[in-house]
C-alpha cells in the first residue's frame, strides 16, 4: 500500500468516530468502544462530506509528509553559516540598525579580530542556545557585550564574555572570590546568561527585543518604560520605549550584526572561518591544582591554558572549587587521565611558615601573595588571631608569579606599564576620595585613572588603597611620588601663595581642587582640599 492509500484508508477508518465542533472543525475521538453505551462504534458509515474532508486531510498530510521526507537535513562546515541559516528575528531597516550595520561593514578588521577570539567558544555557545530553543541571534550577543574578550571589564563593573556585573553574577550563582571569578568562566557564564535571558523573556511577556534590552539595562528599567507607555496608551515594543541611550543602541547593534551575517556577500564582509564542530572539552581536576602544573599535564603553554580559563584570577584553582578546565577537545582525554593520577603533593607547592612576633595574617598573606581568607581556610583559623611559633601552611606557585601573565595582578600590572612621556605617581586614598576628584587633582582623565588601576569609574575607593597615576604634569622631579589627600584649615594671615609654598604645590592647583576664585580672600577656618606629595613635604 502506498503512502497516500494508507492515509486515506486510515482517515476513512476513523471518520465514524469523528464529530463536529460548533465551529465545524473535525474533532477526532478514540476508536475504543463508546464509554457510555459500551457498544462498538460503527466504522462502515461515512457521509459524502466526510469523504471529501478525509481526502482533503489526506492530501494535506501527504504534502506535509513529503516535505518532511524530502527536505534535506541542513549541514554546515562553518558555524557562522549554521547561525545565519537559523536567524529568525525580524530586522527593520531603520536608522538605528542601518547606522550600526554601516559601522561594522566598514571595519572588516574588527569582524576578523572578533571571529578569532570567538573560535574556541562559538560552537559551544550555539549548541547551548539550540538546546534551549532560543533565538540563534543570541550567539552574536558576546560581540556586542565584550567583542568576545573573556577578560573584558567595562565601566559598569561588568566582567567577562557576557559582561555580568557582580550583583547579577551572584543572582545567577556565578561564584566570585579572590581565586576565581565565574563571570569570566566561559562555560558557567554562558549558561548563566542564557538563564537570565530566558527569565527576561518570560518576565517581559515573550518579547525577545525587550528581553535583550533588559539584559543591557535591567528588567526594572524596561518594565518601568513599558508601564509609562501603557499609561499613555502607547505601544510597548522596544522601538517605542524610552530607554537609556546605551540601550537604544544595544539592540540595533545585535540586529545589525545579524543582518550583516545574513547578507555578508552583499556587504562584502568575510567572517573568520570557524569549523562547525566541537572545539573544547571540560576536564575536572577534582582538587586545587597549580595552573602551571595543569598546563604541563595538558601539554599546553601556560598562557594558552589560562586564556581558555579566564575565570581563574590567580596561579591556582580555588581551594573550594571549581577545579574544571576548558581544553582543546583533542587534548581532553590524555589530560583527564594524567590529572586523575596526581597525588596531592604533586598538585601544589607548599611552604611551612612559623609565625614570628609582630606577624599578622594580612602581612603573611601579602608576603606570599595569597588572600587572608585562604590562610584562614587552609589552617582552620577563625578570626585574625595567630600565635608566635604557630605553624602555617602557605600555598605557593610552582613558577615565578611573573610567568602567570594572565593572573589578575599581572593583568593589572600590564595596564600600569610606563606610559611614554609620562611619570608614575602613587596616590594613597583617604576617606572621602573619589576617582573623579583625584583625576581632577592630577589633571588626568578619570576613566584612564580607573583603567590604570583595574577599576570602573564608578567603583568605590577604600582608604589606604594605592592608586597608580601617569601624568605628563608631574609635581615632583623624582621618578615617582606618594601623594596623599590633605585637608588644611586656613589660619589667620594665610594666602593661597603661602599655602602653596608650604605644601610645595601650585596656587592654580589649589584653586582648581577647591573651585576657588583667586581674587577673593581666604577665610580663617575654611577647609581646603590639597593633594600633597609626601616624598617632598
Tens of pLDDT, residues 406-454? 998 888 888 776 666 677 788 888 888 888 888 888 888 888 888 888 8
**Residue among 100, 70, 94, 83 nearest 136 (CA):** 83
Poorest-pLDDT segment among 85-89, 131-135, 443-447, 482-486? 482-486
What's the average model confidence in pLDDT over 22-42? 37
What count of Cα atoms within 13 Å lies in the side-chain half-sphere of residue 535?
A: 14
CA pair distance 425, 475, nearest whole angstrom? 9
User: Measured between alpha carbons, how far is 19 from 29 in angstroms, rounded to an integer?
Assistant: 8
For residue 287, give the C-alpha cell. 582538587
Which region among 101-115, 233-247, 361-375, 466-480 has the lowest average model confidence (pLDDT)? 466-480
Encode pLDDT of 374-383 as tens digits: 899 889 998 8
pLDDT digits (tens, 9 = 90+) for 162-175: 999 999 999 999 99
Question: What are the pLDDT digits (tens) for 4-14?
Answer: 343 434 443 34
| Alpha-carbon gap, residue 209 to 225, rounded angstroms | 14
Cβ pair 393, 348 in contact under 8 A: no
Instruction: For the chain, give the mean pLDDT.
Output: 84
Copy the grid coordinates of residue 15: 471518520
Rounded average pLDDT over 462-470: 84
H or E segment at 349? strand 349-354
Nearest-CA neighbor of 26 among 18, 34, 36? 18
Using CA atoms, how far residue 157 sits from 152, 251, 447, 452, 454, in Å, is: 10, 21, 12, 14, 10
Catalytic residues: 145
- Give dist(CA 430, CA 170) in Å, integer: 29
Q: What is the mean pLDDT of residues 309-320?
A: 95
Is residue 29 predicted with pLDDT exceeding 90?
Answer: no
Name 467's bridge partners.
Answer: 427
* pTM recorded for the entire structure: 0.72
Which stretch of 149-163, 280-294, 326-340, 425-439 has the lowest confidence by average pLDDT?
425-439
Pairing of strands 423-428, 466-471: antiparallel
Specify the pLDDT at position 504.
81
Torsional class of 411: left (φ above 0), alpha (ψ -120 to 50), beta (otherwise): alpha
Concatenating the DSSP letter of every residue in 28-52 gives E--SSPPTTT------S---HHHHH
125 Cβ neighbours under 8 A, 6+ residues apart: 139, 142, 190
Q: Give the angle subtended at the CA of 141 by the CAs of 136 and 147, to the nearest 5°.
A: 135
Name the band, by pLDDT with cuts 50, 70 and 90, for residue 104.
Answer: very high
Residue 44 has pLDDT above 60, yes or no: no
Q: Are 242 and 230 in contact (CB under 8 A)?
A: no
In angstroms, the first-to-last Cα distance of the chain is 103
Instruction: Give the pLDDT score at 3.
Output: 38
Q: Where does the pLDDT of residue 65 fall: very low under 50, low under 70, confident under 90, or very high at 90 and above? A: very low
Does residue 336 register a pLDDT over 80? Answer: yes
Q: Which backbone phi and psi does 482 adopt, to 5 degrees?
A: -115, 120
Q: How many CB atoms lie within 10 A of CB 187?
A: 19
Cα–Cα dist 108/117, whole Å: 14
Instruction: Report the share of the chain in percent with pLDDT over 70.
Output: 82
Amino acid at each position: 500500500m502506498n503512502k497516500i492509500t494508507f492515509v486515506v484508508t486510515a482517515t476513512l477508518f476513523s471518520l465514524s468516530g469523528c464529530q463536529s465542533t460548533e465551529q465545524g472543525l473535525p474533532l477526532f475521538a478514540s476508536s475504543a468502544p463508546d464509554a457510555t453505551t459500551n457498544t462498538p462504534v460503527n466504522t462502515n458509515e461515512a457521509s459524502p462530506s466526510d469523504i471529501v474532508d478525509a481526502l482533503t486531510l489526506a492530501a494535506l498530510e501527504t504534502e506535509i509528509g513529503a516535505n518532511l521526507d524530502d527536505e534535506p537535513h541542513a549541514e554546515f562546515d562553518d558555524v557562522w553559516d549554521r547561525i545565519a541559516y537559523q536567524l529568525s528575528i525580524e530586522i527593520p531597516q531603520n536608522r538605528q540598525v542601518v547606522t550600526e550595520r554601516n559601522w561594522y561593514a566598514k571595519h572588516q578588521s574588527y569582524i576578523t579580530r572578533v571571529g578569532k577570539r570567538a573560535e574556541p567558544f562559538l560552537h559551544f555557545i550555539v549548541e547551548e542556545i539550540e538546546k534551549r530553543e532560543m533565538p540563534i541571534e543570541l550567539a552574536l550577543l558576546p560581540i556586542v557585550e565584550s567583542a568576545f574578550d573573556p577578560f573584558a571589564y567595562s565601566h559598569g563593573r561588568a566582567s567577562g564574555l557576557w559582561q555580568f556585573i557582580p550583583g547579577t553574577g551572584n543572582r545567577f550563582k556565578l561564584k566570585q572570590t579572590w581565586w576565581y571569578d565565574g563571570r569570566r568562566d566561559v562555560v558557567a557564564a554562558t549558561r548563566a546568561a542564557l538563564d537570565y535571558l530566558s527569565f527576561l523573556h518570560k518576565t517581559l511577556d515573550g518579547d525577545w527585543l525587550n528581553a535583550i534590552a533588559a539584559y543591557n539595562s535591567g528588567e526594572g528599567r524596561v518594565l518601568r518604560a513599558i508601564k509609562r507607555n501603557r499609561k499613555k496608551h502607547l505601544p510597548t515594543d522596544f522601538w517605542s520605549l524610552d530607554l537609556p541611550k546605551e540601550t537604544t543602541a544595544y539592540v540595533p547593534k545585535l540586529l545589525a550584526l545579524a543582518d550583516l551575517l545574513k547578507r555578508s556577500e552583499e556587504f562584502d564582509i568575510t567572517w573568520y572561518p570557524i569549523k562547525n564542530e566541537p572545539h573544547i572539552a571540560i576536564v575536572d581536576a577534582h582538587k586545587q591544582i597549580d595552573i602551571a602544573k595543569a598546563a604541563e599535564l595538558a601539554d599546553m603553554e601556560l598562557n594558552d591554558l589560562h586564556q581558555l580559563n579566564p575565570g581563574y584570577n590567580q596561579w591556582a584553582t580555588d581551594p573550594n572549587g571549581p577545579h574544571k578546565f576548558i581544553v582543546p577537545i583533542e587534548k581532553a582525554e590524555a589530560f583527564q587521565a594524567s590529572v586523575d593520577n596526581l597525588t596531592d603533593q604533586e598538585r601544589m607547592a607548599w611552604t611551612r611558615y612559623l609565625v614570628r612576633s609582630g606577624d599578622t595574617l594580612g602581612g603573611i598573606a601579602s608576603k606570599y601573595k595569597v588572600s587572608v581568607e585562604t590562610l584562614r581556610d587552609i589552617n582552620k583559623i577563625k578570626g585574625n588571631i595567630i600565635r608566635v611559633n604557630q605553624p602555617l601552611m602557605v600555598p605557593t606557585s610552582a613558577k615565578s608569579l611573573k610567568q602567570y601573565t594572565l593572573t589578575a595582578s599581572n593583568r593589572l600590572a600590564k595596564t600600569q606599564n610606563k606610559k611614554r612621556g609620562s611619570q608614575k605617581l602613587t596616590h594613597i586614598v583617604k576617606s572621602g576620595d573619589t576617582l573623579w576628584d583625584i583625576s581632577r587633582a592630577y589633571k588626568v582623565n578619570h576613566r584612564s585613572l580607573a583603567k590604570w588601576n583595574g577599576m570602573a569609574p564608578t567603583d568605590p575607593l577604600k582608604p589606604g588603597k594605592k592608586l597608580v597615576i601617569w601624568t605628563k604634569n608631574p609635581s615632583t622631579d623624582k621618578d615617582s611620588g606618594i601623594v596623599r589627600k590633605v585637608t588644611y584649615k586656613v589660619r589667620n594671615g594665610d594666602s593661597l601663595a603661602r599655602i602653596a609654598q608650604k605644601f610645595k604645590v601650585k596656587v592654580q592647583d589649589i584653586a582648581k581642587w577647591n573651585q576657588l576664585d583667586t581674587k577673593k580672600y581666604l577665610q580663617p577656618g575654611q577647609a581646603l582640599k590639597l593633594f600633597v606629595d609626601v616624598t617632598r613635604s
